[in-house]
């Protein structure tokens, strides 16, 4: 298979009963160790022949098994390693077998060679340069066409590098592969964001696979981890919060106060600070921290201050709302909790974006990073992850 998000793959997923059904079938179809082979070859540096030779079904099953495992950690080293290994596998296949634009997930369109004037081809493809080898000339050949609007979603380079004519971008194979890699990364993120919502319903198999994946990723990225640490619980990064949370923090009018402060802000800030990447939804605060100092010093003051910025101030006319905050943190309806009380009630998970939009549409003013995001916490996690990568690269 050339692309697990392409048309053929989609048809196969549909034939198998849809994505949820596929995820239920995978554990009885392919073993965890077999799935891990899609990743562990990275250490040896060469894709093994068994992977090249996988049938479409085997390929799809083992790839989607990895997506199911990533639902337990949508942004982190595990995601990075799955992307790295699979980009190499699929782009290697695309290079070997040639691109069938009907089979890959990029919106390429067919085109006629005559669409490009001969004189332009001579210049762009360096046809008169005798010193350039035929292989190099083949690499310079414009072979693919995509609507410019579609291309801009993925292209991050200089537009001067692209031949544009009549609203279309004409691309060489290398340029097309670059775009495909970006689209592939985005498709993985989109799929994992969807699966994140149902991770509690996934068979145990995926959690076990995730643990193996995490172990391998820690080993593979050992040097980097030793230098920069991982994006686990850390002081809150307000600058990376999604727009809905920034709006709630500024204070909101009376009709919105309870939802914005007690439901959304309390759940978001507590998870973001204490356990940004919970592997299950029934986790308790006492599973993550030993005493309440972080909650009392770093989470609660932000909630209280946001409540005070509301009009009218939330805790002035509803002093009992503080007990409700502890209730949503999982300590029961109290204002003097101890760490042992954690688990008396569920620790509320941040509501999904569609719930926020339904209950408090004024809070949701999406920015470009909200694309494909289903929950404000994954927005934050994604930004944290990219920030830690950025600073790692800078330090290096």
* CA separation for the pair 207, 38 (Å, rounded): 17
Tell me whether residue 207 or residue 370 sits nearer to ligand SF4 (CB atom).
370
CB of 194 to ligand SF4, least distance (A): 14
Residue span binding ligand SF4 (CB under 6 A) among the ranges 47-55, 61-69, 168-176, 371-379: 371-379
Tell me whether residue 222 or residue 371 sits nearer to ligand SF4 (CB atom).
371
CB 38 within 8 A of CB 4: no
Based on the number of CB atoms within 10 Å of its own CB, is 289 exposed (0-12), middle (13-18) or buried (19 or more)? middle
Among 376, 383, 385, 388, binds ligand SF4 (CB under 6 A): 376
**Could you tell me which of 224, 268, 226, 262 has the C-alpha nearest to residue 244?**
268
Q: Which phi and psi angles does 253 have, rounded to 5°?
A: -75, 170
The answer to whether residue 373 forms part of the interface with ligand SF4 (CB under 6 A) is yes
Lookup result for tokens 């982190």 = 76
Tell me whether residue 243 or residue 313 sits nearer to ligand SF4 (CB atom).
243
Tell me whether residue 60 or residue 244 sits nearer to ligand SF4 (CB atom).
244
CB of 356 to ligand SF4, least distance (A): 4
The answer to whether residue 74 forms part of the interface with ligand SF4 (CB under 6 A) is no
Tell me whether residue 214 or residue 373 sits nearer to ligand SF4 (CB atom).
373
The answer to whether residue 194 forms part of the interface with ligand SF4 (CB under 6 A) is no
Among 94, 353, 381, 384, binds ligand SF4 (CB under 6 A): 353
CB of 353 to ligand SF4, least distance (A): 3
The answer to whether residue 366 forms part of the interface with ligand SF4 (CB under 6 A) is yes
* CA separation for the pair 18, 24 (Å, rounded): 10
The answer to whether residue 379 forms part of the interface with ligand SF4 (CB under 6 A) is yes
Based on the number of CB atoms within 10 Å of its own CB, is 236 exposed (0-12), middle (13-18) or buried (19 or more)? middle
CB of 198 to ligand SF4, least distance (A): 18
**Could you tell me which of 264, 258, 229 has the C-alpha nearest to residue 246?**
264
CB of 263 to ligand SF4, least distance (A): 12
* CA separation for the pair 168, 52 (Å, rounded): 33
Residue span binding ligand SF4 (CB under 6 A) among the ranges 202-210, 221-229, 324-332, 358-366: 358-366
Tell me whether residue 168 or residue 196 sits nearer to ligand SF4 (CB atom).
196
CB of 273 to ligand SF4, least distance (A): 17
CB of 245 to ligand SF4, least distance (A): 7
CB of 373 to ligand SF4, least distance (A): 5
Q: How far lies 76's CA from each of 230, 231, 277, 288, 308, in Å?
A: 8, 7, 9, 18, 35
Q: For 359-382, give the DSSP string.
A: H-GGG----GGGTT--SHHHHHHH
Among 32, 124, 194, 370, binds ligand SF4 (CB under 6 A): 370
Contact letters for ligand SF4, residues 231-270 (x by CB under 6 A) = -----------xxx--------------------------
Helix, strand, coil % in the chain, rounded to nearest 5 = 60, 5, 35
Based on the number of CB atoms within 10 Å of its own CB, is 328 exposed (0-12), middle (13-18) or buried (19 or more)? buried
The answer to whether residue 356 forms part of the interface with ligand SF4 (CB under 6 A) is yes
What count of residues does the chain have?
Answer: 396
Count the residues of the shown chain that bind ligand SF4, applying the rule CB under 6 A: 12
Q: Is 147 helix (H, G, I), strand (E, B) or coil?
A: strand
Q: For 310-338, give the DSSP string.
A: SBS-HHHH-TTHHHHHHHHTTS-S-SS--
**Per-residue exposure over 151-161, b if at least 16 CB sit within 10 Å of its own CB, e if not:** beebbeeeeee
Tell me whether residue 243 or residue 332 sits nearer to ligand SF4 (CB atom).
243
The answer to whether residue 364 forms part of the interface with ligand SF4 (CB under 6 A) is yes
Chain residues in the site for ligand SF4 (CB under 6 A):
242-244, 353, 356, 364-366, 370, 373, 376, 379
């Amino acid at each position: 298979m050339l692309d697990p998000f392409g048309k053929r793959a989609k048809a196969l997923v549909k034939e198998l009963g849809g994505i949820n059904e596929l995820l239920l079938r995978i554990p009885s179809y392919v073993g965890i160790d077999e799935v891990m082979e899609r990743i562990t070859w990275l250490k040896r540096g060469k894709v093994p022949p068994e992977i090249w030779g996988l049938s479409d079904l085997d390929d799809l099953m083992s790839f989607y098994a990895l997506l199911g495992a990533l639902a337990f950690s949508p942004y982190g080293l595990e995601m990075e390693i799955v992307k790295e290994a699979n980009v190499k596998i699929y782009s290697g296949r695309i290079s070997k077998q040639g691109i069938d634009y009907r089979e890959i997930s990029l919106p390429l369109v067919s085109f006629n060679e005559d669409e490009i004037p001969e004189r332009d081809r001579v210049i762009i493809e360096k046809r008169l340069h005798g010193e350039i080898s035929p292989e190099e000339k083949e690499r310079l050949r414009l072979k693919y066409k995509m609507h410019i609007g579609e291309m801009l979603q993925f292209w991050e380079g200089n537009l001067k590098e692209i031949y544009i004519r009549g609203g279309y971008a004409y691309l060489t194979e290398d340029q097309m592969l670059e775009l495909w890699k970006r689209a592939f990364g985005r498709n993985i993120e989109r799929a994992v964001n969807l699966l994140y919502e149902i991770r509690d319903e996934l068979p145990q198999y995926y959690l076990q696979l995730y643990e193996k994946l995490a172990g391998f990723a820690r080993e593979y990225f050992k040097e980097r981890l030793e230098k920069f640490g991982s994006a686990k619980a850390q002081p809150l990064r307000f600058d990376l919060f999604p727009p809905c949370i920034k709006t709630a923090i500024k204070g909101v009018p009376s009709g919105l106060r309870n939802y914005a402060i007690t439901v959304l802000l309390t759940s978001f800030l507590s998870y973001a600070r204490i356990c940004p990447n919970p592997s299950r939804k029934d986790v308790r605060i006492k599973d993550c921290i030993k005493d309440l100092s972080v909650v009392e010093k770093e989470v609660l003051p932000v909630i209280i201050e946001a409540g005070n910025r509301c009009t009218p101030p939330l805790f002035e006319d509803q002093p009992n709302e503080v007990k409700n905050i502890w209730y949503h943190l999982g300590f029961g309806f109290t204002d003097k909790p101890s760490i042992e009380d954690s688990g008396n009630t569920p620790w509320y998970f941040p509501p999904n974006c569609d719930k926020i939009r339904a209950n408090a549409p004024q809070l949701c003013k999406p920015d470009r990073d909200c694309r494909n995001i289903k929950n404000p916490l994954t927005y934050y996690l994604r930004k944290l992850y990219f920030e830690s990568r950025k600073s790692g690269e800078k330090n290096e």
